[in-house]
Amino acid sequence: MMFSRRTVLRSASLAACLPAARAACAGRAVAAGVPYTIRALTSGPRHHFFGYYGITPWNQSGKYLISLESGFQDHLPRPDEPAAIGLVDAVTGKFDKIAETRAWNFQQGAMMHWDPSRPETGILFNERRGDDIISVALDVRSGQRRELPRAVSAVSHNGRWALSLTYGRLARLRPVVGYVGARDPNPANPAPDSDGIFRMDLASGKTRLIVPIAEVYARLLQAHPEIKPRQMWFNHALFNRNDTRFLFFARVWSVPEEEKKQLASAMFTANVDGSELRQVIPFGRISHYDWLDDRRILATFQMKKGEEKYYLFTDGQDDYRSFGDDFFRGGHPTFSPDGNWIATDAGDGKKKEKLLMLYSMKTGEGQVLGSFPMREYMSGDLRCDLHPRWNRAGNAVCFDALEPKSWTRQLHVSQLEL
């Protein structure tokens, strides 16, 4: 049976929980058969958040989560406004500062990762060097710090590689995921052959451009000549589970004649050296995504204009299958480590709330875990998306939400009895 939001909210236990916890559902609740609790882990008066979805903030032992801390959330951070990076105790929620960064935003944070080669004590995060964006490898126990020449956008599960984007180009063309003041080496070029997806060796720092924007632009231009005057950028790179391929978006803004400027995107995949580049989703409206395994991808996009759905398909095959049509409403889907569950979010624009949602791949059942008011942070460049992220054991989800008493942005955790 598929559970719509209306069906789930009829659950007496969940309905009883929601009024007291539209921002943090304390106590135990059950809906669609999965017991869970939700609590705000961190607290104000400062803001604490992780950023993007699908990246675990927990270290290997689960003792700590990594978090950013900021004194504001009402404007995009300027280059001279750092955020603190700290360890959050998974039990007490206590934040201990270990570093700071001047390369961050509210949507994707500083693209922090626990280093897979040192998952208990090693972290990676983005930082500035002048107007260039670099990254830092830091041992949180010893304080040993090493700089890498390019930003981190995705990290392979084996800890060998990072995929890197040019955040100055993002800052200019898509500010919500860029870093204000970062340099774009090609501001006048709609499709540079010197920019795109870079692969960086995390041990040596050696980098190489593996997918140029110009190559993808030329492919899309053949079928979509309307993009010719538009500037292209890449975003949302992600390795598959065995690090043999990765996906990314190629994006442009819609042509000026349209009434409302919208993103137009295509999804591509490639081998880790950039070879066997293939387009896997038609050019148009694409939202968010995750790899289920080494070959299958879940993504939200429009197969037909005006009909945006979740589709599961195989990399390189036209076997698109929609599912969860009565449950999912956009959002940021991320698979549990065993692939049996999807945690995602959705927005209710009328109520200015974000929903945290859970879906079973085995039974096709879904449930709403909680509803969280966002006030003026419902949309726009400063929005607070929940951006769910699983822990390593697959029984807890961390997300960002506003705490209702102080209206500060805080880390929340939903513990699940799966």
* β 233-239/263-271 pair status: unpaired
Residue-averaged pLDDT of the chain: 91
Q: State yes or no: pLDDT of 291 exceeds 50.
A: yes
Is residue 56 packed enough to be buried (19+ CB in 10 Å), middle (13-18) or exposed (0-12)?
A: buried
pLDDT for 259: 54
Determine the average pLDDT of the residues in 278-286.
94
Q: Is the pLDDT of residue 70 over 90?
A: yes
Q: How confident is the model at residue 27 (pLDDT cuts 50, 70, 90)?
A: very low
Average the pLDDT over 292-320 and give the result: 93
Between CA 264 and CA 341 the distance in angstroms is: 29
pLDDT at 248: 98
Strands 34-40 and 47-49 turn out to be unpaired
CA distance 216 to 224: 12
**At residue 336, does pLDDT exceed 60?**
yes
Q: How far is CA 33 from CA 13, 142, 357, in A?
A: 11, 44, 13
Q: What is the pLDDT of residues 209-251, one digit of tens each?
A: 999 999 999 999 999 999 998 999 999 999 999 999 999 999 9
Q: How confident is the model at residue 7 (pLDDT cuts 50, 70, 90)?
A: very low
Q: Which of 16-30, 126-140, 339-353 has the lowest mean pLDDT?
A: 16-30
Within 10 angstroms of residue 130's Cβ, the number of other Cβ atoms is 10
User: pLDDT by residue (tens digit) across 76-107?
Assistant: 999 999 999 999 999 999 999 999 999 999 99
The dihedral region occupied by 157, where left means phi > 0, alpha psi between -120 and 50, and beta the remainder, is alpha
Q: Decide which of 96 and 11 is more confident.
A: 96
- Beta-sheet strand order (sheet of 207-212): 154-155, 161-164, 196-201, 207-212
Check pLDDT > 80 for residue 23: no
CA dihedral 164, 166, 172, 174 (to 10 degrees): -20
Classify 291 as helix, strand or coil: strand
Per the document, the length of the chain is 418
Q: Which of 108-112, 193-197, 327-331 has the lowest mean pLDDT?
A: 327-331
Cβ burial, residue 349 (10 Å; 0-12/13-18/19+):
exposed
